[in-house]
Amino acid sequence: MADGTSVDDEAGAARFAQLLADEQRVEPTDWMPEGYRKTLVRQISQHAHSEIIGMQPEGNWITRAPSLKRKAILMAKVQDEAGHGLYLYSAAQTLGTDRDTMFEQLITGKAKYSSIFNYTTPTWADMGSIGWLVDGAAICNQVPLCRASYGPYARAMVRICKEESFHQRQGFEILLTLMRGTEEQRAMAQESVNRWYAPALMMFGPPDDDSPNSKQSMAWNIKRFSNDDLRQRFVDMLVPQAEILGVTLPDPAIKWNEERGHYDFGDLDWAEFHEVLAGRGPANSIRVARRRQAHEDGAWVREAARAYADARADERLAS
């Protein structure tokens, strides 16, 4: 056809539209618009990168966690994050981008990941704040993704959400334990919450009127709720939880709004968000450098394992 589309494309496009209209899932072998494929590869690989980079701020505390139990829990959590990264890389791979390419994009700094992991974790209480606030925000974001239109992504998210709830609870418990402790421990918990609260709220992305891709993602049934809706939902959950903990959320504008049936809250510093996203956060360069070093240091292991597998295959052929 003159506009470059084929009859197959047209039939495929009609089928794709019908699948979305019927709230059905799109599977890897289905026809899909190039933009849908690209959006998904970008979103899923960024999500995978976030899980992998997200291992670092917590890995930082494994050797210093205050008890053997806390060490074991933290290791399990970091291992989960590696697993979540792998589920997501597999899902992205079904769209035709291989994992080694995605790895390369991460370690060369071409790919983005959640800007939250570019903040540092100077105190033990940060393990609590990450679990409660960061994983809490992630869950809020991820539960609707279990219904995303792309089958492999949705299935990965179901598995991730199931595992993620332990992460949030363990974080809450760390903070609760500190809040029941000494004056110094309570101060440590509060100081940590003060640092993580706003960045966690920014995890939902820019305000709706400044989020150009959201509309298309919602039309494609990838995104189910707007950034601001999810952020509101999160704040509504946080306020009563903060009361139970006995911490103060660092926003004097938080106030119950009877008319809206939601908590009002103050504006966030989006200039900071864009700075961190642009690579100028507290830990951007160290996170990527460490990931690259781990990848390069592991090269000989991957090669040796491959050589061993090849040699065994040759032996089997010869016998």
Partner 1 sequence: MTSPGESGGRETWPLWEVFVRSSRGLSHVHAGSLHAPDEIMAVRNARDLYTRRAEGVSIWVVPASAITASDPDARGAFFESPQGKEYRHATYYTESDSVPHL
Contact 248, 190 (CB under 8 A): yes
**H runs (alpha helix) in 143-226:** 151-179, 183-202, 214-219
Q: Does 6 bind partner 1 (CB under 8 A)?
A: no
Helix (H) or strand (E) holding 263, with range, is strand 262-264
> Minimum distance from CB of 149 to partner 1 (Å)?
17
Q: Does 244 bind partner 1 (CB under 8 A)?
A: no
Contact 103, 302 (CB under 8 A): no
Q: Does 243 bind partner 1 (CB under 8 A)?
A: no
Binding residues among 269-308 for partner 1 as defined by CB under 8 A: 302-303, 305-306, 308
Single residue of 9, 37, 80, 191 touching partner 1 by CB under 8 A: 80
Q: Does 76 bind partner 1 (CB under 8 A)?
A: yes
Single residue of 163, 191, 228, 275 touching partner 1 by CB under 8 A: 163
Q: Does 210 bind partner 1 (CB under 8 A)?
A: no
> Minimum distance from CB of 74 to partner 1 (Å)?
15
Q: Is 255 or 312 the residue whose CB approaches partner 1 more closely?
A: 312
> Minimum distance from CB of 50 to partner 1 (Å)?
18
Helix (H) or strand (E) holding 264, with range, is strand 262-264
- In the block, tokens 């402790």 appear at 181
* d(C-alpha 14, C-alpha 22), whole Å: 12
> Minimum distance from CB of 165 to partner 1 (Å)?
12
Q: Does 313 bind partner 1 (CB under 8 A)?
A: yes
Contact 27, 155 (CB under 8 A): no
Contact 269, 241 (CB under 8 A): no
- In the block, tokens 């390419």 appear at 101
β-partners of residue 257 are 262
Q: Does 87 bind partner 1 (CB under 8 A)?
A: yes
Contact set with partner 1 (CB under 8 A): 27-30, 76, 79-80, 83, 86-87, 90, 93-101, 155-156, 159, 163, 302-303, 305-306, 308-309, 312-313
